[in-house]
Chains A and B, each alone.
Chain A
């Protein structure tokens, strides 16, 4: 482990200071994420799933420990972090977080604009990915005109359109009914199988957790079990 991993975390801990109390949200975390992973972070509420995903997704910084991206240790260089977020990582949020003033097409197109992709290429890529998530014909809709499941599909399309190394999803199904949640996981599985997209997502829903090919179980901020599915 380490050499071919996209991300490697070593002896990570994360504390939150709440006045005089220190909350140890994560400690002694060692974790590698390999290309093609379909990894679930499981654990009860407050176990540290979100905190861990935020650290992997480079939108939060650990209190101690080291994170290696492409075997290079990350420092606090904000510009490099922004580049990683823009080019290497995709995010799917529990609450979808689409930009309300943009329509479906524009939401999905946005990461490509940040990357400076040409307009012609953008159109091709966006239409392709909208087809993959089953939203062909919806590209002119505004987010508020869509159902929860459709919104999460847009969010998935937005995350994968730039072909990131890792797609991170914090409880992507928690705001959806079980059938729709199931469909979202199926879509992620399909994308993982066909395109080799790496997914790291969290859940406390046993039905969803069993779908992971790698399952990491957190308890009180520690990895208590790691299981590789057959």
Chain B
């Protein structure tokens, strides 16, 4: 009969009340786990989507790209890419190496001209990049089908604003790398919907070679390297940096998250919401368990007096209550984890759709990701909350004078 056993048995003295508290903890902490699991899902999905559509894992630029202002387009672009590309492809972890050019100009239907933001890509690789994360990449099908020649894909809103259909011709005008003006006629082969309407109103995509002809250059803006696993980013960053230095490639490299402003914005938006919800749920759990523990401590005041009169030290008595809070937290924590795990399975199979987040055009499926670190952190937070909620009343009661405790009815 140690103080641990005593604490454990005391917990189940008032079965109904303890069960009620466990129910509150189970649903409170369970909801917390689900909320965090949902945020983890959004975070994971958004991250991998960003990587597998925009940023790749690593991006290579000309070493002056971020330090100096370009006076003409692609002044600090990457030259002689083929060596660099084939070097990068040697790495086992590297799944995909592709180049892109960002450029701007005017697009015209013959009557109306609007500014565009263009992206020149290697369509097949862009499709593969999306396929790596299980997305279709069908937006590039038509570019691939026509070999990229004389073809442009417009944002849907842009196509509407120019009043052009698939098959119509448009003219792109832009300044070349040596500052001259150049234009090219391209056939609209497809339209796409983007993450936001703002983006869709301006965006166009063309083939890399078409862009290089238009801009009169063989340079590219950046090379995008996609790895097998996001977790390998840091290691490959170091290895490739070393390799680039050893082979005198004058490049500067960025990791995916340095180039993922949109991801960061959405992520912090969701984290704020989750943080707020978590706080509320933890407070509920704190007060629910504090209430049980306070009640169970107060009604045992005389018993504590008895224990103290038998020569139990105040510290030993305190230990008993700490064990009680500990067991409440552990049992509640496990119940909450089981509840959250089962609920997550149900939710993930339910196909429930969430409305689009602010600024987005597409909703997404409600999914919960069961991540081990979240479970571990939340479990310990639950146990700590439970122990802390028992500390204060336990301190008070174990500091009572023995006669007062004994006289308590």
Which residues on the A side are within 8 Å of B19 (C-beta)? none
In the A-B complex, the 5 residue pairs with the smallest Cβ-Cβ separation, listed nearest first, are A86-B311, A101-B9, A85-B311, A59-B402, A97-B306
Within 8 A of B (CB), among A58-72: 59-60
Nearest to A54 among chain B residues (CB) is B403
Listed in ascending order, the chain B residues whose CB lies under 8 Å from chain A are 1-2, 6, 9-10, 13, 302-303, 305-314, 316, 401-403, 406
Is A59 a contact partner of B311 (Cβ separation < 8 A)? no
Q: How large is the interface on A (under 10, 10 to 19, 20 to 34, 35 or more residues)?
A: 20 to 34
B309: contacting residue among A91, A95, A100, A113, CB under 8 A: A91
- By a CB distance below 8 angstroms, the chain A residues around B2 are 113
**Residue in B9, B10, B305, B312 whose beta carbon sits within 8 Å of that of A114 in the complex:** B312
Q: A59 and B403: CB pair below 8 A?
A: yes
* Complex contact A85–B310 (CB within 8 A): yes
Using Cβ atoms and an 8 Å threshold, which residues of chain B touch A99?
6, 303, 306-307
Cβ-closest chain B residue relative to A87: B311
Residues of A within 8 A of B303 (CB): 97, 99-100
Binding site for B on A (CB under 8 A): 54, 57, 59-60, 78-79, 82-87, 89, 91, 93, 95, 97, 99-102, 106, 109-111, 113-115, 158
B1, A110: Cβ atoms under 8 Å? yes
Q: Which among A60, A84, A97, A111 is the interface contact of B401 at CB below 8 angstroms?
A: A60
Is A106 within 8 A of B402, CB to CB? no
Q: How far is B313's CA from A16's CA once the two chains are assembled, in angstroms?
A: 26
Q: 17 pairs across A/B with beta carbons < 8 Å? A: A54-B403, A59-B309, A59-B402, A60-B403, A85-B308, A85-B309, A85-B311, A89-B311, A97-B406, A99-B306, A100-B13, A101-B9, A102-B1, A110-B1, A113-B2, A114-B310, A114-B311
Could you say which of B2, B303, B310, B312 has the most chain A C-beta atoms within 10 Å of its C-beta?
A: B310
> Which B-chain residue is minimally distant from A109 (CB atoms)?
B1
Q: How far is the CA of A87 from the CA of B6 in the complex (A)?
A: 21
Which of A78, A83, A110 contacts B310 (CB under 8 A)? A110
Taking a contact as CB atoms under 8 Å apart, the answer to whether B10 and A101 are in contact is yes
Chain A residue contacts of B307, Cβ below 8 A = 99
A54 to B404, CA, bound (A): 11
Closest Cβ of chain A to B348, distance in Å, is 42
Residues of A within 8 A of B6 (CB): 99, 101-102
* A72–chain B nearest beta-carbon distance, Å: 18
Interchain CA distance A59-B359 in the complex, whole Å: 70
What residues of B have a CB within 8 angstroms of the CB of A78 in the complex? Answer: 314
For the complex, what is the distance from the CA of A198 to the CA of B313, rounded to whole Å? Answer: 24
Nearest A-chain residue to B401, judged by Cβ: A60
Q: Is the CB of A113 within 8 A of B1?
A: yes
Query: Are A82 and B1 in contact (CB-based, < 8 A)?
Result: no
Q: State how many angstroms separate the Cβ of A108 from the closest Cβ of chain B.
A: 11
Interface centre among B1, B311, B312 (most CB of A within 10 A): B311
Note all chain B residues with C-beta closer than 8 A to A85: 308-311
Which residues from chain A contact B312 at a C-beta distance below 8 Å? 82, 86, 114
Residues of B within 8 A of A114 (CB): 310-312, 316
Contacts of A57 in B (CB 8 A): 309
**CB distance B310 to A86 under 8 Å?**
yes
User: B401 to nearest A CB, angstroms?
Assistant: 7
Query: For the complex, what is the distance from the CA of A97 to the CA of B308, rounded to whole Å?
Result: 12
C-alpha spacing A85/B309, complex, angstroms: 6
User: How far is it, in angstroms, between the C-alpha of A98 and the C-alpha of B45 when the chains are bound?
Assistant: 59
Which of chain B's residues have a CB closer than 8 A to the CB of A97? 302-303, 305-306, 406
B residues near A86, Cβ cutoff 8 Å: 310-312
Q: Which residues of A contact B308 (CB under 8 A)?
A: 59, 85
| CA A57 to CA B9, docked complex, whole Å | 29
Question: How far does the alpha carbon of A15 sit from the alpha carbon of B159 in the complex, in Å?
Answer: 95
How far apart sit A83 and B313, CA to CA, in the bound complex (Å)? 9
Min C-beta distance of A58 to chain B, whole Å: 9
CA A85 to CA B310, docked complex, whole Å? 6
Residues of B within 8 A of A60 (CB): 401-403
Q: State in angstroms the CA–CA spacing of A137 and B183 once bound together.
A: 105
How far apart sit A45 and B228, CA to CA, in the bound complex (Å)?
86
Report how far A111 CA is from B310 CA in the complex, Å.
Answer: 6
With the chains together, A82 CA to B307 CA distance in Å? Answer: 11
CA distance A79 to B309 in the complex (A): 13
Residues of B within 8 A of A83 (CB): 311
Bound CA–CA A30/B325 (angstroms): 46
Nearest A residue to B9 by beta-carbon distance?
A: A101
Which residues of B have CB within 8 Å of A113?
A: 1-2
